[in-house]
């Protein structure tokens, strides 16, 4: 039986009737058309599907949409300002060439923002440890870490 679901996604209220087995990532991509959140491994390992639920990074391929009932969900699409200004983390990924193919990038950016929120001015070791739930198959980790460090310096100010 469908469940009536209400949540806030990127600041906007969303209401829908969903099949309970709908994953959060399926709801975001298929129902809302927010395809910036990627499905990589689909087994909660790679982190490409990372979004924030009430400010905490989670793997949306391993969470049911109904588990985010009433929650505030933030996806990569919700980071950019209305005037088109990128979030400091997005800008830092561009500046530092923190992406190669770009597939893991939305998840990396969402995890990185969560980690910098909890560890303002995070050092390299902290960044590497905190990003262990995000895999980059291009192995572009050095520039990803560089980007997060650059953003961490700006975000704290």
Partner 1 sequence: MYAVEYQQPTNLADAASILASTGGRALAGGQSLVAAMKLRLSQPGTLVDLSLIPDLKGIRRNGDRLVIGAMAKHAEVASSDVVKAALPALAGLAEGIGDRQVRNMGTIGGSLANNDPAADWPAAVLACNATIRTNQRAIGAGEFFKGMFETALAPDEIVTAVDFPVVQRAAYAKFPNPASRFALVGVFVAQMGDGSVRVAVTGAAPSVFRATAIEDALAKSFTPVAAKGVKVGADGLNSDLHGSAEYRAHLISVMASRAVVAIA
Helix (H/G/I), strand (E/B), else coil: 22: coil
CA angle 29, 97, 129 (to 5 degrees): 75
Please report how close the Cβ of residue 153 comes to partner 1 at its closest, in angstroms.
21
Please report how close the Cβ of residue 45 comes to partner 1 at its closest, in angstroms.
7
Give the nearer residue to partner 1 in terms of CB position, either 17 or 82: 17
Please report how close the Cβ of residue 74 comes to partner 1 at its closest, in angstroms.
13
Give the nearer residue to partner 1 in terms of CB position, either 9 or 46: 46
- Interstrand relation of 72-74 and 3-9 (parallel, antiparallel or unpaired): parallel
- Please give the Cα distance from 144 to 93 (Å, whole number): 7
> How far is the CA of 51 from the CAs of 43, 82, 103, 157, in angstroms?
15, 20, 14, 24
Which residues in this chain contact partner 1 in the complex, by CB under 8 A? 1, 3, 19-21, 23, 42-45, 47, 50, 53, 56-59, 62-64, 66-67, 69, 111, 114-115, 130, 132-134
């Amino acid at each position: 039986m469908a469940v009536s679901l209400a949540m806030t996604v990127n600041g906007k209220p969303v209401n829908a009737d969903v099949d309970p087995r709908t994953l959060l990532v399926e709801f975001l991509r298929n129902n809302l058309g927010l395809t910036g959140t990627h499905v990589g491994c689909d087994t909660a390992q790679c982190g490409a599907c990372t979004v924030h639920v009430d400010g905490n990074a989670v793997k949306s391929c391993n969470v049911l949409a109904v588990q985010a009932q009433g929650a505030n969900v933030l996806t990569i699409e919700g980071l950019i300002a209305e005037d088109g200004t990128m979030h400091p983390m997005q800008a830092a990924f561009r500046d530092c060439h923190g992406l190669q193919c770009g597939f893991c990038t939305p998840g990396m950016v969402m995890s990185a923002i969560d980690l910098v929120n909890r560890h303002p001015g995070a050092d390299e070791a902290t960044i590497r440890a905190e990003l262990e739930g995000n895999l980059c198959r291009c192995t572009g980790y050095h520039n990803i870490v560089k980007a997060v460090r650059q953003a961490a310096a700006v975000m704290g100010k």
